[in-house]
Amino acid sequence: MERRIVGIETEYGVTFAFRGQRRLSPDEVSRFLFRKVVAWGRSSNVFLENGSRLYLDVGSHPEYATAECDNLYDLVAQDKAGEAILQGLVEHAQAQLDAEGVKGEIYLFKNNSDSAGNSYGCHENYCTERDEDLSRHEQLTIPFLITRQIFAGAGRVVTSNRGTHYSLSQRAEVIWETISSATTRSRPVINTRDEPHADPEKYRRLHVIIGDSNMSEYATFLKTGTMAVVLSMVEDKTTILRDYTLAQPMNALRDVSADLFSEHPIRLQNGRELTALELQEDLCDRAELFAQSRQLPEDQQQAVRMWRETLTQLRKDPLELYREIDWVAKYRLIEQLRARENVSLTSPKVAMIDLLYHDTSHQRGLFYRMQARGQAERMVTDDMINNATVNPPQTTRARMRGAFVKRANERNRDFTVDWVHLKLNDQLQRTLMLKDPFKSHDERFDRLLHSL
């Protein structure tokens, strides 16, 4: 599959504080946050005019799922549009709280853990060919995902039985299996619950839940683009894969996360030992050969070039990747503070940096303050992000969903929408099923839209 549908689901952390003290519970804050959403769709679970889904997840976490994208630039713009949409809700809720005399500020974080030890996710979805044989994923996809944290990790200060240390990944400590149908009881790297949101005879939806939420546009483009290429290699049965199956995948996941500079090898099932960087370099070599022999889309070709450039710099000097890689940017901020004020990793000031890096406020968030100084590599423009907040990608099924939601809202029609169905809740109960996520136009849809 050369053209591939990709989407990202992001759970956000939310809190409300006044002078450093929590004033409202996350549940109370989220109810304020979603008042406007409920007004839009009479529910806290809605599809928006840009084709995305916005809802309140278990644990009072706002969650935003991008529309279906078949282009990595669209995906990055849609992901950042989610931040902008939720930040708009924050501003609306803040005004309500101010008007009611409730002192304090709402904070919205795009990270994966809180001070109470709770974890919340960033899930990637990839449309794949229908194939029940998962052995090639064990050989290639799982080792790739476990070691890609060297460039996709968001970074985090962790206190464990190893002591307090800085880790590459925020999710490494909460993943317990490689492939499973569970999502919360024993979180796997890949979730196999069979919900394709498409023609089940042709497609599966590969649900990746190991990843961190990235602030960096570059990291988001790189992690999803390289994954798309790896999946194409797995699907191409004429491609002979080297077996990278890990001897102890969960131990390797946590060992890699703690090994900032990829100095210690992990063991493969065949007895071979490689560092995470060496495994990624070997994979990248093969991906480059694969890309040269296939007509991959230009954005995926770009991801392979970025993969090579990133690995080359990781071998030279990882700390020079602060413009591209989240864990490096945050590590640099923390080490600058420690050098300046002579504090340990357990300092509350370090914890504040660890958190505020992910603040989605452009005025307060440390990532966005870096971006404003030109210290963050961009993959999309502000105009592209603003456009993505109101318009869906034009080359996938999301185009029709977004247009339907917009027209129905304009005409004040009662409707129900999910990833596959468009339904008018009138006497005729007209329902349109869109089983092909790659299809952006359909005569049946045109007739339905014209009838509104």
Residue 214: what are its φ and ψ, rounded to 5°? -100, 135
Smallest CA-to-CA distance from 141 within 153, 159, 164, 124 is with 124
Residue 27 φ/ψ region, left for φ over 0, alpha for ψ in the -120 to 50 degree band, beta for the rest: alpha
With contact defined as beta carbons under 8 Å apart, do 207 and 191 qualify? yes
**Full-prediction pTM beyond 0.85?**
yes
Residue 412: what are its φ and ψ, rounded to 5°? 55, 45
Share of the chain residues as helix, strand and coil, in percent rounded to the nearest 5: 45, 20, 40
Q: Which two tokens stand for residue 416?
A: 């129900």
With contact defined as beta carbons under 8 Å apart, do 149 and 156 qualify? no
Query: What is the distance of C-alpha 300 from the center of its chain?
Result: 17
Catalytic residue check, 436? no
CA angle 118, 120, 121 (to 5 degrees): 155
- The yes or no reply on domain 6-387 and CATH 3.10.130.10 is no
Strands 45-47 and 177-180: unpaired
* pLDDT at residue 92, as a whole number: 94
* pLDDT at residue 36, as a whole number: 87
**Cα–Cα distance for residue pair 133/372, rounded to 1 Å:** 47
Q: Which of 27, 57, 212, 236 is catalytic?
A: 57
Range list for CATH 3.30.590.20 in the chain: 6-387
User: Counting every residue, how long is the chain?
Assistant: 452
* pLDDT at residue 445, as a whole number: 97
335, containing H or E segment: helix 326-341
* pLDDT at residue 182, as a whole number: 66
* pLDDT at residue 41, as a whole number: 65
* pLDDT at residue 66, as a whole number: 98
286, containing H or E segment: helix 276-293
Task: Give the ranges where 104-160 is alpha helix by DSSP (H).
Answer: 135-136, 142-147, 149-152
* pLDDT at residue 334, as a whole number: 98
- The contacts found for 267-276 with CB under 8 angstroms, 24 or more apart, are 268/143, 268/243, 268/244, 269/243, 269/245, 270/243, 270/245, 276/146, 276/147, 276/149, 276/150
With contact defined as beta carbons under 8 Å apart, do 361 and 247 qualify? no
| 113 three-class SS | strand
Strand partners, 236: none
Strand partners, 125: 7, 207
* pLDDT at residue 183, as a whole number: 58
Query: What is the distance of C-alpha 419 from the center of its chain?
Result: 18
Instruction: List the chain pLDDT tens, one digit each, 452 residues.
Output: 778 999 999 999 999 988 766 678 888 888 889 988 887 767 889 999 999 999 998 767 899 999 999 999 999 999 999 999 999 999 999 999 999 999 999 999 999 988 777 788 999 999 999 887 788 999 999 999 999 999 999 999 998 877 899 999 999 999 999 998 765 567 899 998 889 999 999 999 999 999 999 999 999 999 999 999 999 999 998 888 899 999 999 999 999 999 999 999 999 999 999 999 999 999 999 999 999 999 899 999 999 999 999 999 999 999 999 999 999 999 999 999 999 999 999 999 999 999 999 999 999 999 999 999 999 999 999 999 999 999 999 999 999 999 999 999 999 999 999 999 999 998 888 999 999 999 999 999 999 999 98
Distances from the Cα of 256 to the Cαs of 45, 148, 173, 208, 330, in angstroms?
37, 9, 11, 18, 18
445, containing H or E segment: helix 443-451
Strands 45-47 and 53-57: antiparallel
